[in-house]
Chains A and B, each alone.
Chain A
């Protein structure tokens, strides 16, 4: 599992954990993120059950596990949070921040010691020892109850499945040439994202944020002008294509 520090400013850091070479071939590669501020940390989309051991291996190298007081699950999918039943046994009294919509579903993964902190549809925030993290609504992109996490100090947006690309394990960590990256994320966004209205709503909301880095849960990270390039590209992309013919799709472009 690769450990990459994305941001560091005194006691405030963002670390990306991903590109795990030991993972079984047929499970999708995922990016996990750890935000630390002073002596508290939050793990964003901790990953699937298969990833628990490599994640734990990586985390023990980074910080004392007691510092992880919060977990965040952008939505209910297994690649996001099916490891919960195991984290639940290692973290004492951690809080899981997740859309209120999914509580009853997520609890199926096993949750005896962790406290569920429901995020209302309109979003919310979390104070991490003075660092105010924002939960940004991203409903229907793709899950019907879905959030991103924005850190206004680091100017980083954890965008979940938005900006995701399905790529091999040895892919670069950052998007360098946006145009050549399009083919790696186009189908994912068209097929997984169901709602044009939700898409435009999210783009409008995110354009108002000051973002230097946009970090998806799969694939490469967008830096600087690549973030705007992504938003511009996504804005004109037809989504929810499962029942549409290629002619219909072409006519929408």
Chain B
């Protein structure tokens, strides 16, 4: 029983650490998504300067910005969820510790078993179950958000390819546009790496 509890405490500690890790990674991604949004705006400015010739690029820049904004929103939600999961883990740890101590007392002093203690023990068991359910739900939502972020980044990569094609039709601005596309591509890949790392980290939370 003591071993099981130690294992549980370790897994709760791992859960807290993993949630904090995901939060940190996604905070980084949020900053990168802000850079993407800035790059999209730059692209838009260049497209306006070029004029009618770059109408396709202007549309692509709007898509870029839209996905960048969506990514920022999703990253913020993930951050909030991770914080909730970490807070839940700490509550569960405290509750499990309490149960462990009270069970110890009830076993060693059965003749002094008081209603209050039995009631509190049941309450904590119930609250632990609730916390576990909340964490499970939060994990499902978190996985959904990570998947969403992944889709956004993959869409951005597709847009990046199209942007390069458009840039090929504008030889005078090709170098500048290629440079910008490259920046967007690097940032997108970096966010993708973060999301993959977070998805891998999810196994410690579930």
Contacts and interface: CB of A to CB of B under 8 A. Distances in A.
A53 B105 contact: yes
B117 A60 contact: yes
**Residue among A60, A61, A92 with the highest chain B CB neighbour number at 10 A:** A60
Interface residues of B, number: 17
Interface string B95-125: 1011001101100110011101100100010
Contacts of A66: 116
A188 interface: no
Nearest to B104: A53
A86 B109 CA distance: 18
A67 to B, nearest CB: 10
Nearest to B127: A89
Contacts of B126: none
A90 B97 CA distance: 12
Contacts of A61: 109, 112
B102 A56 contact: yes
Dominant secondary structure of chain B at its interface with chain A: helix
A85 B96 CA distance: 12
B98 A57 contact: no
Given A52-B101, A110-B94, A89 B109 contact: no
A60 B95 contact: no
B184 to A, nearest CB: 45
A53 B94 CA distance: 14
Contacts of A60: 105, 109, 112-114, 117
A66 B117 CA distance: 10
Contacts of A52: 101
A53 B97 CA distance: 10
Interface of A: 49, 52-53, 56-57, 60-61, 64-66, 85-86, 89-90, 92, 110
17 contacts: A52-B101, A53-B101, A57-B104, A57-B105, A57-B108, A57-B109, A60-B105, A60-B117, A64-B114, A64-B116, A85-B94, A86-B97, A86-B98, A89-B98, A90-B117, A90-B120, A110-B94
